[in-house]
Amino acid sequence: MPSYTPPIADFEFLMFDVLEIEKHADLRGYAELDRATVHDVLEGAGKFMSEVLQPLNQSGDEEGCHFENGVVRTPKGFKEAYKAYCESGWNRLGVPEQFGGAGLPILLTFAVAEMGSSANQAFSMYPGLTSAAYSALLATGAPWMREHVASKMIAGEWTGTMCLTEPHCGTDLRLMKTKAVEQPDGTYRLSGTKIFISGGDHDLTPNIIHMVIAKIPDENGKIRDDLSTVNFFMVPKFLVSEDGKMGARNGVSTGSIEKKMGIKANATAVLNFDEAVAWRLGPKPQPKPAEPSAKKSSSAGMSGMFGMMNAARLGVGVQGVAVAEVAYQNAAAYAKERLVGRSLTGPKAPDKPADPEIVHPDVRRMLLFARTAAEGGRALATFISFNLGVASSNRSAEEKQTAADIGDLLTPVIKAFCTDMGFDAANAAMQVFGGHGYIRDHGMEQFVRDSRINQTYEGANGVQALDLVGRKLARNGGRAPFALFKMINDFLAAETGDAMKPFVAPVKKGLDCLQEATVWLAENGLKNPDNAGAASVDYLRMFGLVTVGYLWARIAKAALAKLAAKPANAAFYEAKLISARFWMERMMPDTASLSERIKAGADTLMTLDAANF
C-alpha cells in the first residue's frame, strides 16, 4: 500500500522564506498567519489526511461507488470519514467567520486542499465541489439561500455540485438544451440531462444542492443556440423551503454513474432533471427581443457560475500538484530500497548482491522531474494565492489591479500546466517501479489513472490554452502579461551575484523565448486565428515553464539566504538548490524547441483533408 507524508516543511518554506508573508500582515487574514499558527493548521490537517483519508484511497478505488435501484452508495469508510472531516472543520477553513468558518486566506486553504488530494483525490472532490457551490451561493444567492442553504453546506450537512456538461455539449455552452421555464411564483421548472457530474449523487449527506446552468426560452418559447438566455440556477435534490427545511424529493434523478478509468470512489453521475423546481441566481435579467444577434447571457448570476468555475480550475491545478507529490514520495522510497544492477561507476553497496535503484542516472532523472514538478507547481499555487490575497486587500488600486491580472492570467496556466506535469510525474514515478508499478499492489497505477482526469475536466487543457492565447493575453491591451513579464525581468535584473547566475541566466533565456512567442502570436494570430490555435498548447507550456522557472529562482535565492546562516537542516535547502538547477538545466531548455513549434504556424495541421485522417 502506498504511503503519504504531508510536505509541511515545504509549505512553510514557501510561505515564510520565499513569499515572506510576515511582511504582509495588512492582507486579509495574514495578521494571524504566524509560524506557530500555520504549523498547527498544516500539522493537524496533514495528520487527518494521512491517517484518515489516505488509508481509504486504494480500498475506495478497488470498491468504487455502487448504483442500485436508483440509489448511490460510496465505498466503505467514506461516509464516516466525511462526517469526521466536517466535524474537524477542514471543509470550512476559508469560509468567512460570519458564515461559520475559520476565515483563513486561500494561501493556507490551498495547502490543506493539496494534502487532501494527495491523500485521496476521489474523496477530496466531494468537499471541494461543495466549497465551490456554496461560494457561488454566498456570492449570488438570495438572503434565505445564504442563511439556510449555504450554511448547511458549510457545516457539512449538505453537499453541492456543478452541473454544466450535457451529452451533446461540453465546452460549447451555445449548444445546451437544458431549459428552465419561469413559474408564477418566481421559481422555474428545469428539464434536461447533465452528465459527468462529480459527486452528483451519494450517501454522504441527505441533500445535495446542484448548481445548474440552463437556458430560459425566449418569448416564443424557443431555445436559441447562443448564450443570450443561459442562466444559473440552484436545484436541490430535495426541495428546500425559505426557512431551510428539507421537503419532498425534487424532480432530479440519477440515470447512472459512470464506469470510469480513475477516481472510482467519486460518484460521477448522469442526472436527469424533469420539471425540477429551480431558483435562478442573481437579479432578474431584463427581457430582450428574440433577435439572433444576441450573444451574451443576460443573467447577472452567471458571474457566480464563472467564479465557481475559476475556483474549480485553480483547485484542479492543485490536484495536479498533489498527485505529483504523492507519486514522487512513493517512487523515491522504492528506488532507495529496490536492488537492481550495479552503479555505472562501481558498486555503491558492495555488501549486497546489487545496488539500490537510485544509483542509476535515469532513475534520478525521473525522480527529480517528479519532485520539481510537485514543488514547482506548489510554488505556482502559492504565488497565485498570494496575488489573489493582494487583489482583495486594501492596498493601492494599481497594486490590486496588477495582482488580480496576474491571478486571472495564471488560472488557465495552473490548471493545464500543473495537471500535465502531475500526470507526467505520476507516469514517471510508476516507471521507477518497473513491472511492479503496473500492478495494483503498490498503488502507482491508481495515481496515473486518477491524475488523467485532471487534464480533462473543468475545461480540457486545450481549452485552457485557447483561453490563455485567445482571451487572457490581449485583454486590456495585454496588461496582465506585461505586468508578469516586468515582475520577472525586474527580479532577474536585481540578481547580479555569482551564486544566482545558474538560476538567472536560464530564466532570462526562457523569458526571451516567451516574449518573442507572444509578439509572434500578436502578429500572426490576428492574421490567421488557426495560427493561434495551433500554437496555444505549446505556448501555455512555455508560459508554465518560465513562470515556474522564475519561482524556482526565487526559491534558490531564499535557500541561499538560509544556508548562509548555517542552519541545522542545511540538507533541506541544499536539496532546493539541486532541484532548482534541475529545472534550469532539464526543463527550461524546452522553451527553445517550443518556440520553434509555435512559429511553425497552422499550415501543416490544417492542410490535410479531413477525409484523409
3-state secondary structure of 165: coil
Residue 309's contacts (CB-CB under 8 Å, 6 or more residues apart) are 162, 164, 458, 459
SS3 192: strand
| Predicted pLDDT at 218 | 83
Q: What's the whole-number average pLDDT of the chain?
A: 94
* Integer Cα distance of 393 and 387 in angstroms: 10
| Angstrom distance (rounded) from CA 263 to CA 161 | 16
Q: How are beta strands 268-280 and 252-257 bridged, if at all?
A: antiparallel
Say if residue 565 is exposed, middle or buried (CB neighbours under 10 Å; 0-12, 13-18, 19+). exposed
Residue 290 has pLDDT above 80, yes or no: no
Asked whether the predicted pLDDT for residue 285 surpasses 80, the reply is: no
- pLDDT value of residue 173: 79
Does residue 219 have an active-site annotation?
Answer: no
The answer on pLDDT for 288 being more than 80 is no
88-103 pLDDT tens trace? 999 999 999 998 899 9
Residue 454 DSSP class: G
CA distance 55 to 548: 32
Q: Which of 598, 113, 8 is nearest to 384 (CA)?
A: 113
pLDDT per residue over 233-261, tens digit each? 999 999 999 999 999 999 999 999 999 99
Q: Which of 160-164, 346-350, 572-576 has the lowest mean pLDDT?
A: 346-350
- From CA 74, how far away is CA 91, in angstroms rounded? 18
Q: Can you tell me the mean pLDDT for 582-588? A: 98
Which of left, alpha, beta for 247 (phi over 0: left; psi -120 to 50: alpha)? beta
In the chain, helix, strand, coil percent, each to 5? 60, 10, 30
Residue % of the chain over a pLDDT of 70: 97
Mind spelling out the 3-state secondary structure of 557-578? Answer: HHHHHHHHCCCCCHHHHHHHHH
**What pLDDT is stored for residue 313 in this prediction?**
93
User: How many CB atoms are located within 10 Å of the residue 265 CB?
Assistant: 27
| Per-residue pLDDT at 599 exceeds 90 | yes
- Measure CA of the first residue to CA of the last residue in the chain; give whole Å: 43
- Minimal CA–CA distance to 203: which of 76, 73, 331, 302? 73
Type of residue at 411: T
pLDDT of residue 295: 53
Q: State mean pLDDT over 582-587.
A: 98
Q: What burial letters (b/e) apply to 71-109, b meaning 16+ CB within 10 Å?
A: ebbbbebbeebbeebbeebbbbbbbeeebebbbbbbbbb
Residue pair 227/296 in contact (Cβ under 8 Å)? The answer is: yes
**Does pLDDT of 301 surpass 90?**
no
The residues that bridge with 179 in the sheet, in sequence order, are: 191, 215
Q: Where are the beta strands (DSSP E) in 167-287?
A: 179-182, 188-198, 207-215, 230-236, 238-240, 246-249, 252-257, 268-280
Q: pLDDT (tens digit, 9 = 90+) per residue, 181-213? A: 999 999 999 999 999 999 999 999 999 999 999
Is residue 268 left, alpha or beta, with left meaning phi > 0 and alpha meaning psi from -120 to 50? Answer: beta
**Dist. CA 141–CA 144, nearest whole Å:** 8
- What is the predicted pLDDT for the residue at 175? 86
Residues in contact with 78: Cβ distance below 8 Å, sequence separation at least 6, in sequence order:
56, 60, 123, 204, 265
User: What's CA 255's distance to the chain center, in Å?
Assistant: 28
Strands (E), 490-545: none
Asked if pLDDT for residue 551 goes beyond 60, the answer is yes
Phi, psi torsion values for 552, nearest 5 degrees: -65, -35
Q: What are phi and psi of 182, to 5 degrees?
A: -70, 145
Mean pLDDT for 340-358 is 92
Q: Which amino acid is at 156?
A: G
**CA 284: distance to chain centroid?**
31
CB neighbours of residue 23 within 10 Å: 9
* SS3 state of residue 181: strand
Portion of the chain with pLDDT greater than 90, in percent: 89
The DSSP code sequence of 393-446 is SSS-HHHHHHHHHHHHHHHHHHHHHHHHHHHHHHHHHHHHTGGGGTSSTTSHHH
Cell numbers 447571457 label which residue?
A: 297
Chain segment 69-91, per-residue pLDDT in tens = 999 999 999 999 999 999 999 99
Of 589, 564, 581, nearest in space to 500 by CA? 581
47 pLDDT above the threshold of 80:
yes
Is the pLDDT reported for residue 275 higher than 90? yes
What is the pTM assigned to this prediction?
0.95
Residue-wise pLDDT tens digits, 369-392: 999 999 999 999 999 999 999 999
Three-class secondary structure of residue 279 per DSSP: strand
The Cα 152–Cα 239 span in angstroms is: 14
Per-residue model confidence (pLDDT) at position 310 = 87
pLDDT over 70 at 300, yes or no: no
State the pLDDT at residue 294: 47
Q: Determine which one of 114, 166, 375, 458 is catalytic.
A: 458
Coil, strand or helix: which one is 188? strand
Closest to 79 measured CA to CA, from 156, 166, 164, 182: 156
Q: What is the band of 464 on the pLDDT scale with cuts at 50, 70, 90?
A: very high
**Phi, psi angle pair for 145, to nearest 5°:** -70, -40
pLDDT tens-digit map of 405-452: 999 999 999 999 999 999 999 999 999 999 999 999 999 999 999 999
Q: Which three cell numbers stand for residue 501?
A: 547566475
Collapsing DSSP to helix, strand or coil, 601 comes out as coil
**Alpha carbons 373 and 384: distance in angstroms, whole number:** 16
Q: What is the dihedral of CA 220, 226, 229, 232, to 10 degrees?
A: 140
pLDDT digits (tens, 9 = 90+) for 119-161: 999 999 999 999 999 999 999 999 999 999 999 999 999 999 9
Nearest to 491 by CA among 383, 596, 572: 383
With beta carbons less than 8 A apart as the criterion, state whether 192 and 178 touch.
yes
- DSSP assigned state of 471: I
For residues 283 and 230, give the distance between their C-alpha atoms in angstroms, rounded to a whole number. Answer: 14
Q: What is the pLDDT of residue 169?
A: 83
Residue 304 pLDDT: 72
Please list, in sequence order, all residues whose beta carbon lies within 8 angstroms of the beta carbon of residue 496, skipping any fewer than 6 positions away.
none
Q: From its phi and psi, is residue 457 left (phi > 0), alpha (psi between -120 and 50) or beta? A: beta
